[in-house]
Structures are given as C-alpha cells and as structure tokens.
Amino acid sequence: MTIKHTTPAETGAGLLDDVRDTVARWARLDQDDAGAVALWVAATHAPECWAHAPRLLVNAERGGWRSKLMGALAGLVHKPMTTATAAPLAVLRAVDARGGLDDPPTLLVHDWPPQWRRMELWALLGGGFHREAHTLTYDAAEGTVRRLSNYAMAAIFGPVPDYVTDQGVTVTLRATAPAGYRPRNRPGWHVLTDLHHRLNAWTDDQHLRLMTAIPVSPVTDRDADVWAPLLTVADTAGGHWPTTARALATAHAAKEDRR
C-alpha cells in the first residue's frame, strides 16, 4: 500500500475537503456536520497549540451510524484512545501516561452506560477542556502526591451534562440519509490511514502558524473558546474554509442559544 503524505503543493483546503467527504461517506453525515467533524479531526493533530480542547458531541437517532463514525474517528484522529467503560483514575492515568500536556491522546468515549456516568468521570471530561487542568492523586505506596494532566481532545457519543455540552460542537447522526446523499461503498481502512498521515504531516508543517494564530471569531464567550482551534485550522487551510468555519460557528451558537 502506498501512503500519500502531504507536500507543500497540497493545500490544507484540499486535505480538509478530503476528510469531510470521507467522513460524510463513512457515517452518512450531511455536509455541514461533516465539515465540523473535519475541522475537529484536524485540530486533534495539534493539541499542544490550543488553550482549550473542544469536545465533539455526537447525538445519534435510533438507527444512526454511530459505530461507523466511531470507526472513522479511530482511523483519523491523533493517538485515539477508545473507552466504553472506565474508572476515572484509569482514564486520568492513561491520558497523562500517553503524552500528558505536551502530546495528549484523543479520547473516543462510546456511550458510557448509566453505572459509569458518575460525577467523577464527567468532572474529568469537563476539566480536560482547559489546557491547564490537572488532578491531584495520592500514591499510598510511595506516600506522594502526583499532579496529572487531564487535558485532552474528546469525542463523546451519547447524552452529556449541560456544562460539557457548552464545551463542544454537536453533530447529529440521522436514522435516514441526508438530502443529496448518494449510497456508495464506504472508503477502505487504507483511506483513513492515508488521511491520518497527511493530517500529521500538514499540522507539523503548519505548526508555528497554528501555535501563534489568533483567529477573528464571529462568536463570543465559551463559544469562542470552543471554536478558536477550529477557526485557526480553517484559516491556515485557506480556500473556502475560513468562510465555511465561521458560518458553522455562527449556526452552532444560534442553535445553542435556542436550546
């Protein structure tokens, strides 16, 4: 299998178009939601550049292709770490051990059952939105206190508390195909691997710009924190993406205001 890596001749806009179209085909998303997912996926490849780690919140109607989107994300995001059931301390230690603040994994949280929807877990996810979020743990064997980072990007499938909703971009998996959707065979796993490598290479190449950019945001307050990484990715990619991302941010903020 030949892996295509990004080159200076490949634009970020074209790369994001490829991610959007692949996600739309893989999980039967409409173009707006697939565009938001593409921006979020790209942002996971540069977590050290952001002050906040926006959550991707996935609502799925009965019959929606949640497992297919989970599979696509597992192939696309940076350092995926999937969990369906977990103890809070186990998640915390795993995030810290797999890179901590400098290079954290991307959490893919798949429908925690009711017995796992405990305040400690939601506090962990809520706190991990902030770059400087840490949790203190006590090691009884050594008699020491450890300071562990819980900063990490996260995609969460299923219901979440309101304060986590405020930290994320919400997309919906419909039970029926969106208007204009044309049934086609889903791309093979090698396509996700190809895109993953290209995203890694592109974000590495654009690292300084991603790290220092201050995007002009059409939204304010917490929405501005959520969308800042996605707008930065869009501005760096160029093409139609700066306009597209701002339209998505404005529509998302308006939807949340009506909620």
| Alpha helical stretches, state H, the chain | 12-27, 31-44, 66-76, 88-97, 119-127, 162-165, 189-205, 207-212, 221-237, 241-258
Domains and CATH numbers, the chain: 12-258 (3.40.50)
Token pair listed for 12: 């970020």
Q: Give pLDDT, residue 116.
A: 47
Backbone angles phi, psi at 11, to 5 degrees: -85, 150
**Segment 152-163, tens digit of pLDDT:** 999 998 888 788
Contact of 28 with 254, CB cutoff 8 Å: no
pTM: predicted TM-score of the whole model, two decimal places: 0.87
Q: Give pLDDT, residue 115.
A: 47
**Segment 24-53, tens digit of pLDDT:** 988 878 899 999 999 999 999 999 999 999
**Segment 67-84, tens digit of pLDDT:** 889 999 999 999 998 876
Average pLDDT of span 237-243: 97
